[in-house]
Structure 1
Amino acid sequence: MKGHEAVARALLDHGMSLMFGVLGGANIFIVDSYVRTLNGRYVATSNEAGAIAAALAYAACSGTVGLASVTHGPGLTNTITGLIEGVKARIPVVLLAGDTAPAGRGSSQDISQRELVVATGAGFEDVTTADTMLGDLARAVRRAELERRPIVLNVPTQHQWADVEYRKMLIHRPETRGLVAEGEDIERAIGIIAAARKPIIVAGRGAISPGARAALVQLAERTGALLSTTLQARDLFDGERFNLGIFGTLSTAVAADEIVACDCIIAMGAGLNNFTTSKGGLVTGKRVIHCDTDLSAIGRHVAVDAGLVGDVELVANKIIELLDMAELPPSGYRDPRLEEALRTHTPGFSGTATENGLPLHGTIQRVAEAVGHDRATVTDGGRCVVESFKVLRISDPQLWYYNLRFGSIGLGLASAIGASFAARDKPTLLVTGDGGFMNGGLAEFSTAVRNGIDLVILLCNDGGYGMEEIEFRARDMPHDITCFEWPEFAAVAESLGGQGVSVRTEADLEQAIAAISNRTRPLLIDFKLDMRRLPGEVG
């Protein structure tokens, strides 16, 4: 068969049955074979930045390797922000990029694609000849899985029309046995736990499986530790006694007091980055035990006293076993008064209308509750979006995705599209800002409409770039360059084939809630805010 069909068939043989992409002269025939000849599912995004963002979110929410395809030159350059986001988030994606044939060197779309990709931190695999094509592709898939980052498969156009003898080159995936830490480190960890009087367990994305969650709940009861999570694993311990919620800069007041007072942090599958530790301040003076399957993750951001390389569930059970053998008592940290404080504490966010409009946090809560708890949840970047982290509730951390690793705005809507395919029959809620929507969301709203995505978008519209406005105000400088006169987004959504509602008052909000219940197409809620108000009380 021809090389373009061989590539398409190999992708499906590797289990990659969903592709996001944008057509161009250097990838058009691969995508055509994938869809028309082999019945692969293809989601045509409006922009290449949207294609890579959707593939990243799909991979993260499905637990599989994502797939996207773009053409050469500007098609690839448009994916740069997404590639860096994927590298920083450690998400496995194969980005199939066409490349210019040697005879076309000097054409307007010809660039050195390898150097461009390597600079992002992503991996690069070049199809060097038609004979090596299938092996090169298999290696790209394998690398994405093992290295947990985007890998660009570079396919020059001349190989796509070469004759290829097709053969399956499936990746052998050896059985992965769960590791259990042994030796001095786990003995040191047991000693630290035995001496701790106020231990806190911090669960991250690497601990969200049902087995790991159950083991950590049992470990907390055995040690007398409090439970908490990183932002990526938020609400994992919802409903559990002595659950602090998010550990770090987004902690509640009650949780923050306990975090400051604790003397031992048991981090399980958590990165302990600057946001979780408040630039290391929340772990200063405390003993730190860090468990992860990835050796390089342990101690990457903060110094640790005991590093445990192993499976979270198995390591937690091993610690319980050793504590029982040594007949070590729990810490005694779990005071009934603390349990009552955690149960009754509510953040100090207003949920009622003010004379200037609707409160930010209360409105986000109302919309999220109307969409339903069992959903995929995606957030873009921006001031109001970060505030949403304080109030959004997540039923399944696997279906929770946010775009903040590279600090970019504009990836949210495309990410919501990718997450929706992982969520299958569940709705998807996107919280985005006006700047983020205009930066990239506007282009992909039509993609959501074309694909019939069950999507509700809460667009927090403060009329400009809020983060930058804060910087100007802090220095008593004019901030007019951060302000924009946007179009009426509800009308724009309608013109693109979706549904739209503008919200300024309580009555408007009630109409929006009704629209959520009766939606038949992607629904955009344009929530009008006043930039002059602080994020916690935007009106």
Structure 2
Amino acid sequence: MKLHEAIAKFLADERGTQPVFGLMGDANLAFLGDYIEREGGTYVPAVGENGAVLMAYGYARASRGLGVATVTHGPALTNTLTGLTEAVRAQAPLVLLTGDTPDVHEFFQHTDIPGFAQHAGAQFERVRSAGTALSTLAKAFTRARFESRPVVVDIPLPLMSADVDYAVPTWPSFAPQRIRPDSDCVESAAAMLLAAKRPLVVAGLGAVRSGAGDAVLELARLIDAPVMTSLLGRELFSGQPENLGIFGTLSSRLGSDHIGQSDVVLVLGASLNNWQTDSYRLLADKRVIQVDSDPEALARYGPISLGAVADAGAAAEDLLEILRDVGQEPSGSRRLAEIAEANAGENREHFTSTTGGGYVDARESVVEIDRVLPPGTRQLTDVGRFTVSVWPHITPAPGTMDYPGYFGSIGLGIGAGVGVASVDQALPTVVWVGDGGAMQGLVEITTAVRQSLPLIIVVINDGGYGAEYLKLIDVGAKPENAFMAWPSISRAAEGLGAEGIRVTDREQLTAAVARIEEYSAEAAGDGVTCPLVIEVIADPHQMANEASVG
């Protein structure tokens, strides 16, 4: 068979019913044609190359598996830079298949593929001959899974028509390893926790993925410590009396008070990044014990007193064993009782609504929409000022929230959301996005339309760029300089084949929420015919600038 036929068969064998996202061009159209026609593979064509990579990224994050994208050479590859860099920063297992240009003098679309991959921070593999192509592909797919990072694969176009035998070498299958901490390290951590006067336990996405919730909660109760989570670990301890919610700059007032009072902080599977810790100022005077399965995560953002390369759940279990062995029992301290009492008075809706005059308070819309979403609904947010109106007021199940913001770019949410929605079509996927990010990513709505994906996109439209609105004030300029005269985003979405609803008052919000309930039921039944776009018109002068949880 020809190499392009062999690549198609490899992809079909490797992916099964899982999708390949991409955009066709000279470097990949031969094997994509075979993949679709001969192999019956699932191919999701994107509008743009960056969108294709974002879809593979979203799919990998939501499925906890591998995402695969393919684009052609030259400008198609360079168009993927932002999405690929985002996937690298998020440590998403992803393979991007591309191909070098024809070997002719001064070919106008030539670009340095290994240099490009290095610039994005991705790994790189090159197919050096037709005979080694399948071996190189198998290696790339294995590396992406084992290393949990993107791998760019260059399959030079001139090799596509070469004759090859279909023989794929056997590579080890991927199974996540549950790394246990070193026993001396566990003993040192236990000693620090037992000596602490006001310990605090923080669980991140690593704890969620490890299934460590029960063990972490039991451990916290043994040492009379309240529990908190990272943004992506949120709701892990929902309903528990000692739960203080999100740790860091998004904390409630009660949570912020206890962060400030803590002396030893045990962190299980959370990065402690600059946004989370206010550039580490929240931990400046504390003893920090950090546990993470990624050694590069330890002390990355600031000093720690003790670090352990380990699975969050395994570490919690080993700490529990030591504490039980020394006879540690919950003391029933007044501290946790006071937290439980104060917690009962907290309210996610602790804000004064500004709805009126043709505008809807973004927080009010978030609370009302979140209330009717089916359990298990995946929620994804773009990045921007609007997020402080979203993050404190949504209640996703543990592990079902994500945000493509590791590179700090707006406009990635819709593309990534298409990939997330491709994982499970029995439930809707909700993407929360600002107006600027929506305008940048709107074109990929047509991909969701073609695939009939159950995707709800909620656009918080305050008519401009929110972060710049605030920064212009800081530099003494008029914030109105950040305003943008957008067209109606919901109407634009309708033009792209979606269903659009514009919300400017409570009556329209109530109708939009009712439609979301109907849409969710359609997704669970016979399926939806197109995505649903809800455009909430918000007053830029009244947008929240900090978390509003009492």
Normalised to the residue count of structure 1, the TM-score between the two structures is 0.95
Instruction: Indicate the SS of the match to 1:285.
Output: coil
Aligned to 2:79: 78
Specify whether residues 284 and 130 from structure 1 end up closer, same or farther in structure 2 by C-alpha distance, changes over 3 A only. Answer: same
Q: CA separation of 1:379/1:27 partners in 2, compared to 1, >3 Å: closer, same or farther?
A: same
**CA shift at 1:534, angstroms?**
3.8
Structure 1 residue matching 2:387: 3-state secondary structure: helix
Report the secondary structure of 1:94's partner residue.
strand
Following superposition, which runs of at least 4 residues in structure 1 exceed 6 angstroms of deviation? Answer: none
Residues 351, 363 of structure 1: 8 Å contact kept: no
Trace 1:216-365 onto structure 2 (pairs within 5 A). Answer: 216-330=216-330, 332=333, 334-347=335-348, 348-351=350-353, 353-355=355-357, 357-365=359-367
Q: 2:96, 2:152 within 8 Å by CA — same for their partners in 1?
A: yes
The correspondence of residues 31-42 of structure 1 with structure 2, limited to 5 A, is 31-42=32-43
Q: Which residue of 2 aligns with 1:390?
A: 392
Question: What is the distance in 2 between the residues matched to 1:4 and 1:335?
Answer: 63
| Residue aligning to 1:199 | 199
How far apart, in 1, do the equivalents of 2:174 and 2:508 lie? 56
CA distance in 1, matches of 2:334, 2:306: 21
- Hey, what does 2:523 align to over in structure 1? none
Number of corresponding residues: 535
Give 1:391's aligned amino acid. H
| CA apart distance, 1:210 | 6.4
- Structure 1 residue aligned with 2:475: 475
* Structure 1 residue corresponding to 2:540, chosen from 518, 531, 535: 531
Give the counterpart letter for 2:289 in structure 1.
I
Deviation at 1:356, TM superposition (A): 6.0
CA distance in 1, matches of 2:301, 2:545: 30
Contact preservation (8 Å) 1:377, 1:430:
yes
Question: Residue type of the partner of 1:394?
Answer: P
2 CA distance for matches of 1:7 and 1:203?
42
CA deviations over 1:375-415 (Å, ceiling 9, x no partner): 11111122113431121211131x32202111101111111
Cα distance change on mapping 1:13 and 1:328 into 2, 3 Å:
same
**Residues 1:214 and 2:223 aligned together:** no
8 Å CA contact 2:385–2:545 kept in 1: the answer is no
Distance of 2:156 and 2:498 partners within structure 1: 38
Please give the residue correspondences for 1:446-525 in structure 2 after superposition, counting only pairs within 5 Å: 446-519=446-519, 520=528, 521-525=530-534
**How far is 1:451 from its partner?**
0.7
Match for 2:383: what amino acid? G
CA contact (8 A) 2:199 2:266 kept: yes
What amino acid is aligned across from residue 414 of structure 1 in structure 2? G
Measured at CA, do residues 67 and 309 of structure 1 come closer, stay the same or move farther in structure 2, by a change above 3 Å?
A: same
Distance 1:353 1:386 in 2: 17
Match of 2:103 in 1: 102
Task: Using the TM superposition, name which of 483-492 and 445-454 deviates more.
Answer: 483-492
Q: What amino acid is aligned across from residue 419 of structure 1 in structure 2?
A: V
Deviation at 1:369, TM superposition (A): 2.1
Distance 1:483 1:352, change over 3 A: closer
SS in 2 for 1:389: helix
After superposition, the C-alpha distances for 1:135-177 in whole angstroms (9 at most, x for unaligned) are: 1111111221122211101111111111111112242137665
More deviation, 143-152/172-181: 172-181
The letter of the residue matching 1:425 is A
Structure 2 CA distance for partners of 1:177 and 1:405, relative to 1, 3 Å: closer
Which residue does 2:23 correspond to in 1?
22
Distance 1:479 1:312, change over 3 A: closer
What is the match of residue 3 of structure 2? Answer: 3
Distance change (3 Å), C-alpha of 1:66 and 1:176: closer
Q: Aligned residue for 1:403?
A: 404
Do residues 43 (structure 1) and 44 (structure 2) align? Answer: yes
Give the counterpart letter for 1:368 in structure 2: D
Say whether the 8 Å CA contact 1:359–1:537 is kept in structure 2: no
Change (3 A) 1:220 1:145: same
CA-CA distance at 1:2 after TM superposition: 1.1
Q: Secondary structure at the match of 1:214?
A: helix
Deviation at 1:537, TM superposition (A): 9.8
Q: State whether residues 425 and 454 of structure 2, in contact with CA within 8 Å, keep that contact through their aligned partners in structure 1.
A: no
Shift of 1:455: 1.2
Matched with 2:382 is: 380
Shift of 1:183: 3.9
Q: Structure 2: which 5+ residue stretches go unaligned?
A: 520-527
Alignment check: 8 A CA contact 1:242 1:334 kept: no
Post-superposition offset of 1:333? 6.7
Contact 1:368 1:429 in 2 (8 A): no
Q: Do 2:241 and 2:339's aligned partners in 1 also have CA atoms closer than 8 Å?
A: no
CA contact (8 A) 1:235 1:394 kept: yes
The DSSP-based 3-state class of the residue aligned with 2:47 is coil
Is 412-421 or 422-431 further displaced after alignment? 422-431
Question: How far 1:44 moved relative to its partner?
Answer: 0.7
Any conservation in 1 of the 2:67–2:93 contact (CA below 8 Å)?
A: yes
Q: Distance in 1 between matches of 2:546 and 2:280?
A: 29
Give the 3 Å change call, closer, same or farther, for CA 318–456 of structure 1 in structure 2: same
Aligned counterparts of 2:57 and 2:276: Cα–Cα separation in 1: 23
Letter in 2 for 1:310: A
Deviation of 1:30 (Å): 1.6
Structure 1 CA distance for aligned equivalents of residues 372 and 73 of structure 2: 43
SS at match of 1:215: helix
AA aligned opposite 2:322? L
Matched-pair contact (CA < 8 Å) for 2:58–2:419: yes
Measured after TM superposition, the shift of residue 45 of structure 1 is 0.9
Instruction: Report the residue type matching 1:248 in the other structure.
Output: G
**Residues in 1 aligned to 2:393 and 2:226: alpha-carbon distance in whole angstroms:** 21
**Whole-Å Cα distance in 2 between the matches of residues 130 and 354 of structure 1?**
65
Distance 2:285 2:35 in 1: 56
- Give a deviation string over 1:227-283, Cα, whole Å, max 9, x none: 111112111111222111110110011100011101111111111111222211111
Distance 1:537 1:349, change over 3 A: farther
The structural deviation recorded for 1:212 is: 1.4
In structure 2, the residue corresponding to 1:233 is in which secondary structure?
A: coil
Alpha-carbon offset, residue 352 of structure 1: 6.7
Greater shift in the superposed pair: 459-468 or 287-296: 287-296
Name whichever of 281-290 and 429-438 sits farther off: 281-290
Corresponding residue SS for 1:131 = helix
In structure 1, stretches of 5+ residues that fail to align are: none
Secondary structure of the equivalent of 2:471? helix
Contact (CA 8 Å) 1:225, 1:333: kept in 2 or not?
Answer: no
Deviation at 1:515, TM superposition (A): 2.3
Shift of 1:474: 2.3
Are the aligned partners of 1:379 and 1:402 in contact in 2 as well (CA < 8 Å)? yes
Whether 1:423 aligns to 2:430 is: no
- 1:308 Cα deviation after fit: 1.8
Task: Tell me what 2:149 maps to.
Answer: 149
2:184 corresponding residue in structure 1: 184
Alpha-carbon distance in 1 for matches of 2:111, 2:218: 55
